[in-house]
Each structure stands twice: as C-alpha cells, then as structure tokens.
C-alpha cells in the first residue's frame, strides 16, 4: 500500500497547471517566502495550534493561520484570546488572523503581534456570521470601501511584517467588490489577498464562483491571490488553479477531512501524482497525537471536551461504528478517551481494512441562512 500512487482525473489539465506553476517557483508575502503554495485556512475552533502542528508534521503546508482572533480582546489581554495566538517551533511560518471594525484597534493589535514575533498578519474581511458582522468587522467591511481601505492602510503602515487580507467576493451578488478592494489594498501595501469564492449572502451555499476569483487575480499587478473554497481533493485544487490563474490555494474543511492533502499537493506539483491519504491506523495515530498536543496546550480536562467535535470527524472518516463514535464523544477523562481508542483500534473500520484505503469523506458546512448559524 505504501507504493500506491494516485493520479489526476484530467491529466492534460494537470500538466498545464504544473507547467504554469513551475514558472512561478515560489509564493512570497513580500520578503516572506512560503515553503509551499498551499495554505491552511483559519476555521474557528479547528485550526488551532495542535491541528497546525500535526499538519506541519505531515508535510506540504506553506502557511498556517490561527483561528479568528478578536483584536480588542487581544489588546485587553484576554486569556482565551492570547491562547489563540500561541505557537510552536514547527508552526512556521505563522500567521495570525485578526478581526475588528476600528482602524486604531486593529493597528495596535497588529503592533502587539509583531512584537510577539509573528511572521504575518491577516485581516479578516470574510467572516459572514452575525456576531462578527454586527460589530462592523468581517464581511461587513466589504460594504464600506473607504473605511476598509483606511483600516487596512493603518495596519500595513504600523508594522514591518507582511499584512494580508482574507475576503469574500462581496456582500451579495449585486456587490462583487473583491476585485476593486484587491486593487486598492495592493496600492496601500498588502502582501497578498485570499479570496473565498462566495458572497457573504451565500454563506456556504451553492458553488464557488471561480470566475469571480479569476477577476480578482486579473485585478492586481503583482501580489499573489490565494484562492479558497470547495477544495476537497487534489483534483479540486488543480481545477481551482486552472480556472482562476491563482498562485496559491487555501484549504479549510478539506484539510479537516484529509490532513494529508497538503503533502499530496506538494507531491503532485513535484511529480504529477501523489500518495493516498492516511489509513485507519494512520488516522488513529494522528488522532492520539493531536489530542496529546491539545492536552499540553490547555490541560486534560479542557482537552477532553474541546476535542469532541474533532474526534467526531476523525472517527467518521475512519469508518468507526456509531456506538464507538458515541463512546469517544462521551469520554470525560483522558483515561476514558484512551480506553475507547483502544476499542476502536480492535474493532477497525467498517467495510475496509486497517492499513488500506478509506472512502473519501467530506465535512459538511453550516446550512441555512447566515443569521441562523
């Protein structure tokens, strides 16, 4: 099984993209050169330090970004907020994503982060959820061009580390403002922009508008545009590169379902094919490792409860039966958690072998109107 290689479903498209990417051999945020062109998207509650550590150890990750960090909470010294910006030697390069609607608060938070040694600072202009939008932050900034540009400019001018912006295509289908914003942000000095190919009104419904992302790519002169949305496999990534002309991609939920996707993409870019994602046994080991890192980070009691949502996705991907999935979710101590994992190890996956390929698995996105999330 270790010798098995997977191949693109559309070989001609794959070679066309690989040829283009070879012409831009690296992606840089100003002076910061990324080791790979594939990034981990920030996902609140998931892309924390323990997850970033295990993904870096698997290989192929160009840049990890924190959960969404409240700039005001950062300046107030909130213990919970400060925990979000914790890092580790393997977690490099390292970016912190901040949100807020006031330029002075965002500026001061950026300076605090620079003093703590972060490699890059990302400004969130894409979060669609009401509790962020109602503060004038996240995707709501895309409705206020002048204020948004002044906020971004204030952050860029306050620090020496690269500043990037993550945004959606616009507020709704009638306001696809991302190309305009990208041009203006490049002029005030941002090092890159990342685009989720949906509007705020869409939430996660429908499909990603790759043509909209291409318009952003064509709107800037020289900064990289990072494409995001609906990238669940190497084939999805190839199509995103091909249809948008982007230089890099960012993956969120696809990485939760398959933490090996960054390594796979590095292999594909180098050779044209790639090794499979982890087996049942590989995922069980990774699950134990991530939980151990979480214990080191927040302590056993908090780790047990905090890991429940992640263990749910691990065990679903591993084809674990419902009773054992429920048992791992119900564990109250680290000892109980390990006991259940031992039972899972003995039982193995349903309909597959412990060392063989597992069926593809997708993590669902929030459904319904944004206001109900």
- Give the pLDDT of residue 135: 74
- Give the pLDDT of residue 122: 97
pLDDT digits (tens, 9 = 90+) for 74-115: 999 999 999 999 999 999 999 999 999 999 999 999 999 999
- Give the pLDDT of residue 373: 39
Would you give the end-to-end CA distance of the chain in angstroms? 41
Q: How far is CA 103 from CA 14, 99, 149, 363, in A?
A: 43, 10, 10, 35
DSSP string computed for 206-235? S---HHHHHHHHHH-SSS-EEEESS--SHH
DSSP element (H, E) containing 248:
strand 248-251
User: Could you say which residues of the chain have pLDDT below 70?
Assistant: 1-2, 366-373
24 is a catalytic site residue: no
- Give the pLDDT of residue 84: 95
- Give the pLDDT of residue 330: 94
Tokens of 255: 């990485």
- What 3-state DSSP class applies to 335? helix
- Is residue 96 within 8 A of residue 85, CB to CB? The reply is yes
- What 3-state DSSP class applies to 123? strand
Which of 24, 127, 143, 246 is labelled catalytic?
Answer: 127
Spatial distance between the Cα atoms of 23 and 355, rounded to a whole number of angstroms: 38
Q: How far is CA 136 from CA 125, 193, 200, in A?
A: 10, 20, 14
């Amino acid at each position: 099984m270790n010798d098995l290689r997977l191949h693109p479903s559309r070989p001609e498209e794959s070679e066309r993209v690989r040829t283009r990417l070879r012409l831009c051999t690296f992606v840089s945020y100003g002076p910061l050169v990324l080791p790979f062109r594939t990034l981990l998207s920030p996902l609140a509650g998931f892309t924390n330090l323990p997850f970033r550590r295990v993904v870096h150890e698997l290989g192929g990750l160009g840049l990890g970004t924190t959960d969404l960090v409240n700039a005001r909470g950062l300046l107030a010294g909130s213990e919970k907020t400060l925990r979000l910006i914790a890092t580790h030697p393997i977690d490099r390069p390292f970016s912190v994503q901040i949100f807020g609607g006031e330029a002075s608060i965002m500026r001061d938070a950026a300076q605090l982060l620079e003093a703590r040694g972060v490699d890059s600072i990302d400004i969130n202009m894409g979060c669609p959820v009401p509790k962020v939008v109602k503060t004038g932050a996240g995707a709501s900034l895309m409705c206020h061009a002048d204020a948004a540009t002044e906020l971004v400019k204030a952050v860029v001018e306050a620090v020496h580390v690269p500043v990037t912006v993550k945004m959606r295509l616009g507020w709704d289908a009638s306001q696809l403002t991302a190309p305009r914003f990208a041009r203006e942000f490049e002029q005030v000095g941002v090092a890159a922009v990342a685009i989720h190919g949906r509007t705020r009104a869409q939430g996660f419904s429908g499909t990603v508008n790759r043509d909209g992302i291409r318009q952003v790519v064509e709107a800037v002169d020289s900064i990289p545009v990072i494409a995001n949305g609906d990238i669940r496999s190497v084939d999805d990534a190839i199509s995103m590169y091909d249809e948008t002309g982007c230089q890099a991609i960012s993956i969120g939920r696809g990485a939760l379902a398959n933490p090996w996707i960054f390594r796979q993409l590095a292999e594909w870019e180098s050779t044209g094919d790639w090794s499979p994602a982890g087996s049942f046994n590989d995922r069980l080991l990774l699950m134990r490792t991530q939980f151990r890192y979480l214990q080191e980070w927040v302590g056993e009691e908090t780790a047990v409860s905090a890991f429940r949502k992640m263990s749910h996705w691990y065990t679903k991907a591993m084809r674990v039966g419902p009773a054992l999935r429920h048992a791992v979710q119900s564990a109250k101590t680290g000892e109980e958690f390990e006991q259940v994992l031992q039972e899972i190890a003995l039982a193995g996956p349903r309909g597959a072998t412990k060392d063989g390929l597992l069926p593809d698995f997708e993590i669902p996105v929030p459904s319904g109107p944004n206001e109900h999330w």
